[in-house]
């Protein structure tokens, strides 16, 4: 009998401690949220984010569902992704990343274009980032902020940008404009002297690497180049300025 009571006692004590600890955590005001920190936002104001949150100061920190927070904030078209971190006992950190442009588009006014092709408004001319322009859209574009517009030429321009980002992202610093023509050709206008590079279609990564090599060779000479044509297989044709003869390169 004593052994049985002892076993019951040994089992009961931890159970009571667990229940008491749980009750303390659930009922103690120490776990009520008293600080919400928001970081990463620029165009979306703190108070806008706070109004969207499914919790507020005074709520229990352990009752927050991170998936609900991400779903609600992610429904705002200006927000790309969300992270939530609890700092026990009573602090919550919200980290967001807003949609940002990777290219610029001129259609009535200057718009930003995200990496997924979503159109982003640029409110002030002083906010225009130093990014390549995407041009040559032969069709009338129906622009709506934060929407992905259906345009085959726009999609090719985004595909080209993605290939550059994967192979040689530093090359974007040398590109002033990406012209997507109706015949599938992509033409680049480079920064500085406005040198033209005819890219053609397909194999964008290889052609960009070839363009980098040709530009490096040109920088070692004193010739003035008008155009670099990369539409041919395994070679680049350099057209010199002022009617100079064409020079094929490997």
In this prediction the pTM is 0.75
Query: What are 164-173's pLDDT values in tens digits?
Result: 999 889 989 9
| CATH assignment of the domain containing 244 | 3.40.50.11690
Grade residue 246 by pLDDT with cuts at 50, 70 and 90. Answer: very low
Name residue, tokens 């001319």: 125
User: With pLDDT > 70 as the criterion, what percentage of the chain qualifies?
Assistant: 84
Residue 59 lies in a domain: yes
Residue 14 lies in a domain: no
Q: How many CB atoms lie within 10 A of CB 246?
A: 10
Query: Residue-wise over 221-239: b if at least 16 C-beta within 10 A, else e?
Result: eeeebeebbbeeeeebbbb
Domain containing 55 equals 31-98
For residues 107 and 93, membership in a common domain is answered with no
Tally of domains in the chain: 2
How far does CA 139 lie from the centroid of its chain? 26
The answer to whether the CB of 12 falls within 8 A of the CB of 68 is no
Boundary (domain end) residue, out of 66, 98, 130: 98
pLDDT at residue number 24: 45
pLDDT at residue number 5: 53
């Amino acid at each position: 009998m004593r052994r049985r009571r002892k076993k019951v006692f040994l089992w009961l004590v931890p159970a009571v401690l667990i229940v008491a600890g749980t009750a303390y955590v659930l009922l103690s005001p120490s776990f009520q949220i008293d600080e919400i920190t928001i970081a990463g936002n620029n165009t979306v104001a703190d108070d806008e984010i706070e109004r969207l949150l499914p919790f507020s100061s005074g709520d229990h920190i352990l009752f927050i569902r991170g998936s609900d927070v991400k779903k609600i904030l992610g429904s705002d078209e200006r927000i790309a992704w969300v992270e939530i971190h609890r700092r026990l006992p009573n602090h919550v950190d919200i980290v967001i990343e807003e949609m940002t442009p990777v290219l610029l588009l001129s259609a009535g006014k200057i718009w930003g274009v995200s990496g997924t092709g979503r159109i982003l408004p640029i409110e002030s001319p002083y906010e225009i980032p130093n990014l390549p322009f995407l041009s040559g859209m032969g069709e009338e574009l129906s622009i709506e902020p934060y929407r992905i517009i259906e345009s085959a030429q726009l999609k090719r321009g985004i595909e080209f940008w993605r290939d550059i980002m994967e192979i040689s992202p530093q090359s974007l610093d040398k590109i002033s404009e990406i012209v997507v023509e109706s015949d599938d050709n992509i033409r680049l206008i480079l920064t500085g002297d406005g040198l033209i590079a005819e890219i053609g279609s397909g194999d964008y990564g290889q052609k960009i690497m070839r363009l980098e090599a040709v530009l490096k060779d040109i920088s070692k000479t004193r010739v003035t180049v008008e155009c670099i044509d990369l539409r041919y297989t395994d070679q680049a044709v350099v057209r010199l300025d002022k009617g100079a003869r064409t020079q094929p390169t490997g």
